[in-house]
Chain A
Amino acid sequence: MLDTFQQIFVLFFVAAISENIVLSKFLGICPFMGVSKKLSSAYQMGLAVTFVMLFSSLVTWAINKFVLLPFDLEFLKIVSFILVIASSVQFLEMYLQKYFEGVYDAFGIYLPLITTNCAILGVALLNIQYNHGLFESIFYPIGSGIGFLIALILMAGIREKLELADLPRAFKGAPVALIVAGLLALAFTGLKTIIFT
């Protein structure tokens, strides 16, 4: 029992922090830069991405294991994965528009852009590349999503404070945000070398 917990914790930690999907693997930068201006929309986007990641990773893992591999159709991976991801984002969009209209308006154009978010396709493909079983396919996407959420919250917190700072006019807005993103990524490289014995 303890062993399973250990496994889950290590998987989580690696997915969320040591190999953070945004700051270490540099996937999913579009919503990272686009939705991180306010803390509230940042954590909502993080949760939406986590949900889509988990759902589409499970479905795509199942498709790969039960259809693509037995029938020797591995070359259809990318096409069919994108189809599944696009459909689940559409589903989420319709659900949000009906029940959470405030969130829907806050995301604006960035909600359908989750489809082209390479973090989602990246996690789905990495599940295959790392030969994850069902167990890991559940916790690795959740961990990556939480890592995405953490990166987004960090960025939003910093950017909200930067709005009030006294910056040279040339740096206000996007330029300083890009510099901050670079510094965050630099900080996270220090966490890459944590080894679990």
Chain B
Amino acid sequence: MIMEAIIFMVALALVLGIILAYASKRFEVKKSEIASKILAVLPGINCGACGYAGCEAYAKAIEKGAAIDLCIPGKQEVKDKIAAILAAEKNNNSQPSNDSVSDITKK
């Protein structure tokens, strides 16, 4: 009885796991890098105190320009981290580019 139960559960989990692995490749969506970085510094408890439907929604909203001080569990620490990420992004975008096209046009 126990042996059969174990075999069945393992088999079921294996089949479902394979189906889901295939689905995750087939339905892959490219995630924005900035939103992912912001999501990594947010507390991740999905409390909704910021007014958005969870931390992922808030990360996406910040990328589109929402206020960065709405995370109540995160307090000042998280606000500073978000500000650092956004500042780093701005620096990356306004640095003079090093590719060959601009070298040619500079002359």
Contacts and interface: CB of A to CB of B under 8 A. Distances in A.
A191 B104 CA distance: 79
Contacts of A67: 8
Nearest to A94: B27
A115 to B, nearest CB: 13
Interface stretch (A19-27, A77-85, A117-125): A77-85
B42 to A, nearest CB: 14
Contacts of B5: 73, 75-76
Contact of A98 (B28, B46, B48): B28
A109 B20 CA distance: 20
A101 B31 CA distance: 12
A101 B57 CA distance: 13
Q: State the majority secondary structure of interface residues on A.
A: helix
A80 B28 CA distance: 27
A80 B8 CA distance: 9
Contacts of A90: 20, 23
A71 B12 CA distance: 15
B106 to A, nearest CB: 40
A110 B20 CA distance: 20
Nearest to B13: A83
B1 interface: yes
Nearest to A109: B54
Interface string B25-51: 001110000000000000000101000
A31 B48 CA distance: 16
Given A97-B27, A109-B46, A91 B20 contact: yes
A94 B23 contact: yes
A108 interface: yes
A90 B17 CA distance: 11
Contact of B23 (A63, A91, A101, A108): A91
A80 B4 CA distance: 14
Contacts of B20: 87, 90-91
Interface string B1-15: 100110011001100
B83 interface: no
Interface of A: 63, 67-68, 71-73, 75-76, 79-80, 83-84, 87, 90-91, 94-95, 97-99, 101, 105, 108-109
8 contacts: A68-B8, A71-B8, A72-B1, A72-B4, A73-B5, A83-B12, A90-B20, A109-B46
